[in-house]
Amino acid sequence: MKEMGIRLKPATVSHIEPHFRADMNGDKTYRALGVQGAVECRLVGRINRFVVEVRLEGDCHRASINNTGRLHQFLVEGKRAFCVKKEKGAKTDCRLFAVAEDGMAAIIDTQLQMQAFERSLEAAAIPWLKGCRVIKKNASLGDSLIDYLLECAGDKAYLEVKSAVLREGRYAMYPDCPTSRGRRHIRQLTEHVRGGGRAIILFIAALPDVTAFKTDWSADAELCELLLDASLAGVEIRSINMAYRPEDSHIYLLNPDLSVNLAGLAS
């Protein structure tokens, strides 16, 4: 493998003051997270579950990905994408975090999705979580680890995040493949709510130009049925919409309360 033609800073995110901007329709969006050292690349193909090949400055490089979904709509040869450089000595040269789409970019990096969510929560940019704060990450619940334990006005709530980067028209969807881990989380949270607790499942629709979230029954019908049961039991099913803007290298919260359709059918 050839040496990279340009030197990039290690992947970092920048801390910024809460900043809202109006989009072309006049709706306010929240600039949640800056990504430093981002560089444009072109996808060549997926090598395995965690590694893809990208072309950067004319040379091919191995890039890591942390999203274990199939991502078949994005990991397509020739697609414009965005990477950040890794520290020397890493097994791959860079990390692929976004793929261009509709003038912005879909965020396939689940870590960045969660960091952007955390910044949005801290800035009170998600109205239905106003007054909530993270008191623990990777909180134990039964035999599962749940992404967040929140405190909301003195009460505690478990919140599990799922990445929804499968597209069908203006819908973001989840899952894009069968997931036993996802099913286990839903069962655990449902049991917790039936025992008198509070639980939230949050789908991060990390795609530009979507207006709603729905479940993909063709990918994992059992999981989708569990989500319906969870909702009926009182588990809160929510979705937010975010995307990456290459022009200023920031992730924007576009919609803090996306419509949710658990039937998985067009409405």
C-alpha distance across the termini of the chain, in Å:
50
| pLDDT above 50 for 9 | no
Mean pLDDT for the stretch of residues 149-154: 96
127 CB contacts (<8 Å, ≥6 apart)?
Answer: 256, 257
| pLDDT above 60 for 6 | no
CB 200, CB 238: distance < 8 Å = yes
Q: Pick 12-107's CATH classification: 2.60.40.10, 3.30.450.70, 2.40.50.580, 3.40.50.620.
A: 2.40.50.580
Model confidence band, residue 1 (pLDDT cutoffs 50, 70, 90): very low
Query: SS3 for 111?
Result: helix
- Cα–Cα dist 9/29, whole Å: 28
CB 45, CB 1: distance < 8 Å = no
Mean pLDDT for the stretch of residues 253-257: 97
Model pLDDT for residues 31-78, shown as the tens digit of each residue: 999 999 999 999 999 999 999 999 998 889 999 999 988 999 999 999
3-state secondary structure 23-73: CCCCCEEEEEEEEECEEEEEEEEEEECCEEEEEECCEEEEEECCCCCCCCC
Stretch(es) of the chain classified as CATH 3.40.1350.60:
110-261
CB 106, CB 74: distance < 8 Å = yes
Quick one: tokens of 159?
Answer: 């919140």
Stretch(es) of the chain classified as CATH 2.40.50.580:
12-107
CB 121, CB 132: distance < 8 Å = yes
Q: Give the least confident one: 126-135, 196-205, 256-265.
A: 256-265
Model pLDDT for residues 236-248, shown as the tens digit of each residue: 999 999 999 999 9
Quick one: tokens of 84?
Answer: 């950040």
Model pLDDT for residues 78-124, shown as the tens digit of each residue: 999 999 988 777 889 999 999 999 889 999 999 999 999 999 999 99
- Cα–Cα dist 161/26, whole Å: 29
% of the chain residues with pLDDT over 90? 81
Mean pLDDT for the stretch of residues 176-201: 97
% of the chain residues with pLDDT over 70? 88
Model confidence band, residue 21 (pLDDT cutoffs 50, 70, 90): low
Confidence (pLDDT) at 14: 44
Q: What is the CATH number of domain 110-261?
A: 3.40.1350.60
Say what the pTM is. 0.88
Mean pLDDT for the stretch of residues 254-263: 96
> Does the bond joining 256 to the residue before it have cis omega, within 30 degrees of 0?
no
- Cα–Cα dist 162/140, whole Å: 17
Q: How far out from the chain centre does Cα 216 lie? A: 16
CA dihedral sign, ordered 166, 172, 178, 184 = positive
Which H or E run contains 164? strand 155-164
Confidence (pLDDT) at 240: 98
Q: How far out from the chain centre does Cα 177 lie? A: 16
| pLDDT above 90 for 198 | yes
Between β-strands 171-174 and 212-215, what pairing exists: parallel, antiparallel or unpaired?
A: parallel
211 CB contacts (<8 Å, ≥6 apart)?
Answer: 170, 171, 258, 259
